[in-house]
Chains A and B, each alone.
Chain A
Amino acid sequence: MSSGPTPGTGIRVLLVDDDAAIRAGWRTVLDAAAGITVVAEAAHGQEAIERAAGIDVVLMDIRMPVLDGLEATRVLTRTRPAVRTIVVTTFESDAAVWSAMRAGAAGFVLKRSPAAELLEAIRIAHASDSLLFPAALGRIAAQHSRPPAIAHAAGLTPREDEVLRRLARGRSNAEIAGDLGVGAETVKTHVGNLLDKLGARDRTHAVVLAYELGYVFPGAGA
């Protein structure tokens, strides 16, 4: 079973929700969009794990029977690093959303989001070169992260620190290169180094950890 998009099918999506009406609605929306194909559905986390092979992006509900979305996200992050999980929530204030972000979700969307936002989320998560809805991430970090008073020393250089702050604001590598007046390759190196130092899987995870460790404070320019 190969991973990654195959030509003609676009981004391969797995829909996970215990409510069939939600899955049917999403399927209609995604089927109408170019470059996105729903290839499987699951009614709970266990089914999601079983059906994740060859999937690019998972739309994951949180509260489900058998295995909830939080635990399923944890498992998928560990066993299928290529799969990007977007947590779908009814309420932005849900504490489980932040837990899912810490567990490795690429981002989250609200169930009430308009179609354009849902499609944008899937495309950004799949491309994984910028942060999904940085302002919203900052808001839930403000509600749920417990940063220490002083940032943990992860040994970031001043430059890497600057890059991390810009990542948290949702800037892309090219934009950061423009901000700092350096080449895009240099930024890429900095991002690689700070991911290593923080022990982060990707830039979303780096930003989540930056909030958790107190490098970035929610609301500070996000």
Chain B
Amino acid sequence: MIFRWGVEACRTMLYLVLGGALLVPLVAAWLLLIWPIDSFDGMAALWLVSIPFAFALALFPFVRNIEALAARELLGIAGADTAESTGLYILSGVHLVIGATYSATLLFATMPLIYFLGAGERLVTGPLPLRLAYAVLVAVLWLAGTWALGRCIAAGARRLLRPDRQRALEALRRRDALARDLHDSLGHSLSVISVQAVAAQARLHSGGTDHAVSGALDELAASARAAQDELDQALGILQDLDASDGRDLASLGQLVDGLDVQLVADDVRGIPAQQSRVAYRILQEGLTNALKHGSGGIAIRLATGPELLLRLVNDYDPGSRRPGSGSGVATMARRAGMLGGTLDSSGAEGVWTLEARWPR
């Protein structure tokens, strides 16, 4: 129990020092350019200036990303990534100010301890055990205070980082749609299998030839395989929606590396993780198709705006089987559909175009 508190306090300390560290450039600039801090007025003025500076700094997305990560890893607040952005902004600003204050206090509070343990003037005199006991007491009190402060910040952060209701609803709606989709399509496939099984039985009972019975069983087996494929597809999509370790658009460069692909992509960093994973899977599948059935170079366009647009264009030999006429396109369309979007593929005059889009 005590060990757990100790770990929690240390994590909090790290969290607060991190907030302070982000404001170090301000302190440096202040010291160099404006005012020494060897007076109380100087310190107070710096502290006051740090507040607007902190909230200005929190406007940068990368700062908020760091903040979300820190809240999750060091305060143990789940869902910081899906929080409403205003809440995260306020938390970031407050964290920077409190962190800077804490860090400054930590520095000044340890000075007496340094003097005390070192050879300089001593604040507490007496035998070594007594002095050590004093040091331990100060450290424990400091950690206890840090722990309590961490508790307060975590409680506040939990309120600020309430998951975005709209986003949560949207995710639920998608999961629901997928479940219904799976229920319907798999239900249908299983019905076909069951009708075919009953038909095979009927053939057997009515004295059908081995050939006829075996034909009926072949049909049944084919239906079962198709249902299995369908299930695999649906579970694959479910994984896209859930996976935390799946590849996303950030790995797009790796995907096309070494291939004859002309990639024109907007900045993908702002794209929500789920959409990014689905987009990656669609492009991966489209690229596989294009490589398998097409010829020549492939052009990929990834545009971000109010909606996300993926376009893959390549040449194919009009005489051959048209690329993307198989079940692959159906799966891709299903993926896009899960995000409320559409996917079209069309081949004309030897050029195959795959285009997916959905609202962001």
Contacts and interface: CB of A to CB of B under 8 A. Distances in A.
Interface of A: 19, 21-22, 24-26, 28-29, 31-33, 90-91, 111-115, 118
A21 B222 CA distance: 11
B346 interface: no
Given A24-B219, A28-B199, 16 more contacts: A19-B192, A21-B192, A21-B196, A22-B191, A24-B199, A25-B192, A25-B198, A29-B198, A29-B199, A31-B202, A90-B184, A90-B187, A111-B195, A112-B191, A113-B198, A115-B198
A127 B201 CA distance: 26
A113 B194 CA distance: 8
Contacts of B223: 21
A33 B188 CA distance: 25
Nearest to A30: B202
The SS class assigned to the B binding surface is helix
Given A21-B219, A32-B203, A90-B188, A114 B195 contact: no
Contacts of A111: 191-192, 194-195
A113 B206 CA distance: 19
Contact of A29 (B190, B192, B202, B219): B202
Interface in B175-216: 183-184, 187-188, 190-192, 194-196, 198-199, 201-203, 205-206, 216
Given A21-B223, A22-B195, A28 B203 contact: yes
Contacts of B198: 25, 29, 113-115, 118
Interface of B: 183-184, 187-188, 190-192, 194-196, 198-199, 201-203, 205-206, 216, 219, 223
Given A21-B219, A21-B223, A25-B196, A32 B191 contact: no
Given A21-B196, A21-B219, A28 B202 contact: yes
Contact of B195 (A25, A32, A33, A91): A25
A21 B206 contact: no
Nearest to B197: A25
B242 to A, nearest CB: 26
A29 B197 CA distance: 10
B201 A115 contact: yes
Nearest to B188: A90
B207 to A, nearest CB: 9
Nearest to A23: B195
Contacts of B201: 115
Contacts of A21: 192, 195-196, 219, 223
A28 B195 CA distance: 10
B210 to A, nearest CB: 15
Contacts of A28: 199, 202-203, 216
B225 to A, nearest CB: 13
B187 A91 contact: yes
A29 B195 CA distance: 9
A25 B199 contact: yes
Nearest to A19: B192
A26 B199 contact: yes
B194 A112 contact: yes
Nearest to A24: B199
A25 B202 CA distance: 9
Contacts of B191: 22, 90, 111-112
B202 A112 contact: no
Contacts of B192: 19, 21-22, 25, 111
A28 B206 CA distance: 10
B226 to A, nearest CB: 10
23 contacts: A19-B188, A21-B192, A21-B195, A21-B196, A22-B191, A22-B195, A25-B196, A26-B195, A28-B199, A28-B216, A29-B198, A29-B199, A33-B202, A90-B184, A90-B188, A90-B191, A91-B183, A91-B187, A111-B191, A111-B194, A112-B195, A113-B198, A118-B198
A179 to B, nearest CB: 36
Contact of B202 (A19, A32, A91): A32
